[in-house]
Amino acid sequence: MQNRWNDQDAAAFTGPLAQRVYTSRLLGADPSLVLHGGGNTSVKAAQKNIFGEEETILYVKGSGWDLATIEAPGFSPCRLPTLLKLAKLSELSDTDMARELLVSMTNPAAPAPSVEAILHAILPQTFVDHTHADAIITLTNSVDGEARIREVFGDQVVIVPYVMPGFKLVRAIAALDPARAAPQAIGMVLLNHGIFSWGETAKESYDRMIDLVDLAEDYLKRKSAWTLPAAAFRPASGTLAAPLAALRKGISTLAGFPLILSAHTDEVALAFTQRANVALVSQQGPATPDHVIRTKRVPLVGREVAQYAQDYKAYFDTQAARSPQKLTMLDAAPRVILDPELGLVALGRSAADAAIAEDIYRHTIEIITRAETLGGYRALPVTDLFDMEYWELEQAKLKRQGAPKAFAGEVALVTGAASGIGKACVVSLLARGAAVVGLDLNPAITELHKRKDFLGLTCDVTDEAALATAIEQAARRFGGLDMLVLNAGIFPASRPVAELSSTEWTRVMQINLDANLALMRLAHPLLKLAPRGGRVVVIGSKNVPAPGPGQSAYSASKAALTQLARVAALEWGADGIRVNTLHPNAVFDTALWTEEILQKRAASYGLTVEQYKTNNVLHVEVTSRDVAELAAEMCGPLFSKTTGAQVPVDGGNDRVI
């Protein structure tokens, strides 16, 4: 366990709140201590109010802030005496407690205080640090957990039996009164929950947290319970795209909402899913109780997919029966599926949510595996987990999230995505909540967007093997394919038919036509499994209805592509897949056009560049964004009853009209 304190860095943070910011970030920088909001910190400081009176304020981590990046405004300023008074109440519902915490603040614009605020208040020390450190949970969640904690820490820590976080936990700790009962203690271990440390300076409290967690890690190493085992077997190499898309379809259908699904077949994930007792240990996990598993080592076929869906339905029914609120299937949708061949499969309403589920479960895997090596993993009884998950405050949080975006949980693939219309399509689809896979010859595609819901792949679309690999990667990363935007193409230099070589003709056909056939064929099995039906948008050209001299190969390739799309619309309608074509014209903000070419072209018609750009019926300039927005809308509900259509986006062309 690395102690990240640095005197020089720390010196830049003056005053108690700034010091609190500094060490909170140090804790947040270590995911084995703090993961996705799993910890909080506080400091008590005197402050003068508007009447000039001195008050003691508890600055405690506010909700919506991450310890790794927290700043001073991320701490909620609560009046300490109010919190201490609340702690003395014999009863308080958690909803009332959350309201009273808001009322206790000196600044109504500050973020809502952590629900663990009163725990920080009743500990008398100036600085209090709280984490859900993996090593501590590993010890408390193993056989004889409490005895191991005593063995490791002696009287350095106070031990608190498990109580659900909230006001009941406040009462339990207030009754223990650690400051009086164990004045020598430097921290407190909450069984099945986490650890607190405290001190008079930020450094003292932080150092103690690191030292305590270090003792737990050393213990695990001494007991040879630190190193994670290797996978027993590697699944046969080959495609997982079809089973993953089928699994996603089954679960999305039950949830009533498309979900992103990502599969991870690395060594650690496979080793865990291949454990002989995976069914037993994974069904009592602390972090994510809501998952289903398949333990048989058999190829995943339709029957097993249905089995997953059934397990999920059964899980939902049990939860719904116990819930005081009305649950939706989505509330109960599994976030993790463990499969000896598919590996660790994480699900979410967005790629970011799936990534959080993956992250949390990876820590769960370490905790369970190490606790099993120690002698056996012991989680909380299922009822406690259920109470936690459907705790009234958690439910309120879900409600606040609001309505999802139009394409939330859906996956789009765009070709020629590094520039021009393709690049704009990526932006339009991401803005509507889709996860997007962008293909391009240009390696810059891999860096186009740094976000969880974008996957950029360098790919030559005329290479069928490369296309197959791209589809497989898309399915492993996001679970399938709902939308396909066929945009990649070339616009060769102008050449009359009498001078056009067969080589050039063939090259244009390979890129603008053949590559699209190959991609449509490869994508069809996944589009068929799209929870809301597949959509294909073909970027055609004005040259289809109104060709120009010198562009025979280009015009013929786009005309053939349009015809291919029309036939696909006829054939794939029965699979619920819509295929529509856009015919843009004179889109000049693409890689094909430079200022120099524009000037030359404009001059050849006796026009200025401005006149040339708006040389259409409406006298408007058509941009990549205009085309992209229409392409995205064609995938949306407005076009849900349209297939086989061709729509111009050209400002009106007198030869087309």
Would you tell me how many other CB atoms lie within 10 Å of the CB of residue 479? 34
Binding-residue pattern over the window 137 to 176 for Zn ion, x denoting contact by CB under 5 A:
----------------------------------------
554 catalytic residue (yes or no): yes
Question: Given the complex with Zn ion, which of 194 and 540 has the nearer CB atom?
Answer: 194
Residues 6+ apart with CB under 8 A from 239: 468, 472
Binding-residue pattern over the window 180 to 219 for Zn ion, x denoting contact by CB under 5 A:
--------------x-------------------------
- Cβ at position 408, least distance to Zn ion in Å: 29
Backbone angles phi, psi at 642, to 5 degrees: -120, 130
DSSP state letter for 510: I
Q: Which two structure tokens, joined as six digits, stand for 475?
A: 């399915």
Would you tell me how many other CB atoms lie within 10 Å of the CB of residue 175? 8
- Cβ at position 168, least distance to Zn ion in Å: 14
**CB-based closest residue to Zn ion:** 194
Cβ atoms of 527 and 577 within 8 Å: the answer is yes
- Cβ at position 453, least distance to Zn ion in Å: 29
Question: Given the complex with Zn ion, which of 40 and 623 has the nearer CB atom?
Answer: 40
Would you tell me how many other CB atoms lie within 10 Å of the CB of residue 20? 28
Query: Of 372, 346, 469, 421, which is closest to residue 626 (Cα–Cα)?
Result: 421
- Cβ at position 119, least distance to Zn ion in Å: 8
Question: Given the complex with Zn ion, which of 167 and 407 has the nearer CB atom?
Answer: 167
Question: Given the complex with Zn ion, which of 197 and 624 has the nearer CB atom?
Answer: 197
For tokens 């919506």, what's the residue?
64
* Spatial separation of the C-alpha atoms in residues 48 and 55, rounded to whole Å: 6
- With CB under 5 A as the rule, give the number of residues binding Zn ion: 1
Backbone angles phi, psi at 97, to 5 degrees: -60, -45
Binding-residue pattern over the window 97 to 116 for Zn ion, x denoting contact by CB under 5 A:
--------------------
Q: Count CA atoms within 13 Å of residue 235 on its CB side.
A: 24
Annotate 285-302 with b (16+ C-beta within 10 A) or e (fewer).
Answer: bbbbbbbbbbbeeeebee
- Cβ at position 122, least distance to Zn ion in Å: 15
- Cβ at position 481, least distance to Zn ion in Å: 40
Strands ordered across the beta sheet of 127-131 = 75-79, 54-61, 39-48, 127-131, 194-199, 187-190, 157-160
Distances (CA, A) of 555 to 230, 331, 485, 558: 56, 51, 19, 5
Question: Given the complex with Zn ion, which of 171 and 524 has the nearer CB atom?
Answer: 171
- Cβ at position 335, least distance to Zn ion in Å: 20
Question: Given the complex with Zn ion, which of 194 and 258 has the nearer CB atom?
Answer: 194
Question: Given the complex with Zn ion, which of 128 and 202 has the nearer CB atom?
Answer: 128
Residues 246-275 that bind Zn ion (CB under 5 A): none
Per annotation, catalytic residue among 219, 312, 377, 554 = 554
The residue type at 542: K
Active site residues: 554
The footprint of Zn ion (CB under 5 A) covers 194
